[in-house]
Chains A and B, each alone.
Chain A
Amino acid sequence: MNWLAIAAIYRFEMNRFFRTLMQSFLSPVLSTSLYFIVFGAAIGSRIREVEGISYGAFIVPGLVMLSVMTQALSNASFGIYFPKFIGTIYELLSAPVSFLEIVIGYVGAAATKALFIGAVILATASFFVDLSIAHPAAMVAFLLLTCFSFALLGFIIGIWAGNFEQLQIVPLLVVTPLVFLGGAFYSTSMLPPVWQKITLFNPVVYLVSGFRWSFFGMADVPVGWSLLAIALFTAACLTVIWWIFRTGWRIRS
């Protein structure tokens, strides 16, 4: 294992993050605050408690998940797409590094950034609502798994994308709707029965539900299912990445 190379990629990617630290920091703080003002204070005051939890607190896990998923995805996809776009990928390909090491470097950095933003959002949320975390270890585990699995997906998108439009299209057309319809702002038990069934096909439901369970001890779906879902999702991403590695798809001609 070329650990020094992994560290070099990781550091290089984190440098990009630190260069735009204010943006990286301010934008989640601002958007979370807006969500709390709109959903928590304005609308939330007219919503009864959800499953015994104030609405403001209820949406916190969903908000964190929303940001963590999109941040992990966009950071990882951009991280590997940009070298392809500007041509610096030549250096990665000609270096004594394996594809696995490249994945660890980029995905690790993207997951770290997402984790940082998740933490910032949690901290911001704690200014607006009383937060208690029922299962802290499970919360951290869910957060980490989500960061890594979505960073893996982002990496695949970055390898696949042939232009900036394609880079945006999966997050925009697939991930964002799935996240919004995945129970980030509501409990699936609030849906009509038919939709309760349909929504079970949305993988994000399991992630949000499991994450919410780690806060409040209550979930839309059993927590075991959530773990299984995230495990399957991670395994699927790893399989695709392994296939890319075997074939050199879109990387080596």
Chain B
Amino acid sequence: MPAILSIRDLRKTYQGGLEALKGVSLDIEEGEILALLGPNGAGKTTLISIICGITTASSGTVTVAGHDIVDEFRAARALIGLVPQDIALEPFEKVRNTVRFSRGLFGKRRDDARVEDVLRRLSLWDRRDAQIKELSGGMKRRVLIAKALAHEPRVLFLDEPTAGVDVELRRDMWEIVAELKASGVTIILTTHYIEEAEAIADRVGVISRGRLLLVEEKARLMKRMGRKQLEVELTDPIPEIPPALARHRLRLSRDGRRLIFTYDRQGRRTGITALLNDVAAAGLVLRDVQTRQSSLEDIFVDLVHGEQA
């Protein structure tokens, strides 16, 4: 698939000398959902702000569907919708008017049917004539999304879409994102909730201290970097790991009931058979056995710590 967004060696040094981006290059394919993960201050918002035209880059280029964001800013920006991190809305304006305004601002003719469609998809139609200040926080976030979608963008940026949002609304957001993807919109979201990236992203990029540490398909990333754990639950607790099992480098849970074995699924031999044989030979009686895939969160922490070390 062709890249709809192409970022080349993007750098940003703020006036105070803060180097927010240190040469980021990235291609984003049409129709995918890319999650940019990173701790606070990693450069996620700066990256989005440059692409959307809010901040100027110190050097490097960005093209959207082949249009340079500086030289052809009109063509580039017309393709982009942005949902900012903070709720910023004119409090006294009505929902429908503010969405209409966004559409006009992006150079699209008034189209009430289109605005209605966007408001319905975001469950805002019933509140179309309410003033923004009357809405709940979750509703305001939906209005921000509606505004970003009003001009039918091909690329949508969601900057921390679920920061400070309750669980139910977060699930709703994910559903909305899935629907948008189905309609062909490319989505780039930043988050520091690993759970979010894990739930909805096709690819994951990890950004830390202004550098893109990696970009990889989520499933492959988890497979490549993911470790699995085998947990063996014993019928009777033991005070310490028997010497016969020492070679397996196990960990014993505090209550002495569970033996935890970490292994690499990529290896030809995982060592599970040998472990279970040795457990049986040591005379331990098993009550239960389960495995657990390490989460994106574990991978993320490993990566960011590895980089910082």
Q: Could you list which residues of chain A lie within 8 angstroms of chain B, going by C-beta atoms? A: 2, 4-5, 7-9, 11-12, 15-16, 19, 82-83, 86-88, 90-97, 248, 252-253
Partner of B104, one of A7, A82, A87, A92: A7
- Indicate whether A15 sits within 8 Å of B105 (C-beta atoms), given known contacts A88-B89, A94-B53, A94-B54: no
Partner of A90, one of B54, B93, B108: B54
In the complex, whether B106 has a CB less than 8 A from a CB of chain A is yes
- CB pair B77–A4 under 8 Å, yes or no, is no
- CB pair B56–A252 under 8 Å, yes or no, is yes
Beyond known contacts A91-B105, A95-B107: 20 more, CB 8 A cutoff: A2-B74, A2-B107, A4-B104, A4-B108, A4-B109, A5-B105, A83-B90, A86-B89, A87-B86, A87-B88, A88-B88, A88-B90, A93-B53, A96-B73, A96-B74, A96-B106, A96-B107, A252-B55, A253-B55, A253-B56
Closest to B108 in A: A4
Cβ < 8 Å to A, chain B residues 136-158? 147
Partner of B80, one of A4, A5, A83, A94: A94
B70 to chain A, nearest CB (A): 12
Q: Mark B91-113, 1 if CB is under 8 A from A, else 0.
A: 11100010011111111110000
Query: What are 30 A-B interface contacts by the 8 Å CB criterion?
Result: A2-B74, A4-B104, A4-B108, A4-B109, A8-B100, A8-B104, A9-B105, A11-B101, A12-B101, A15-B93, A16-B92, A82-B90, A86-B88, A86-B90, A88-B89, A91-B88, A91-B102, A91-B147, A92-B105, A93-B53, A94-B53, A94-B82, A96-B75, A96-B77, A96-B106, A96-B107, A252-B55, A252-B56, A253-B15, A253-B56
Bound complex: CA A19 to CA B14 (Å): 40
Measured between beta carbons, the chain B residues less than 8 angstroms from A16 are 92
A5 to chain B, nearest CB (A): 5
- CB pair A11–B74 under 8 Å, yes or no, is no
Q: Mark B40-58, 1 if CB is under 8 A from A, else 0.
A: 0000000000001111100
Chain B interface bracket (under 10, 10 to 19, 20 to 34, 35 or more): 35 or more
Closest to B80 in A: A94
In the complex, whether B78 has a CB less than 8 A from a CB of chain A is yes
- Indicate whether A97 sits within 8 Å of B55 (C-beta atoms), given known contacts A15-B97, A90-B82: no
- CB pair A11–B88 under 8 Å, yes or no, is no
Q: Could you list which residues of chain B lie within 8 angstroms of chain A, going by C-beta atoms? A: 14-15, 52-56, 73-78, 80, 82, 84, 86, 88-93, 97, 100-109, 147
B100 to chain A, nearest CB (A): 8
Measured between beta carbons, the chain B residues less than 8 angstroms from A96 are 73-78, 106-107
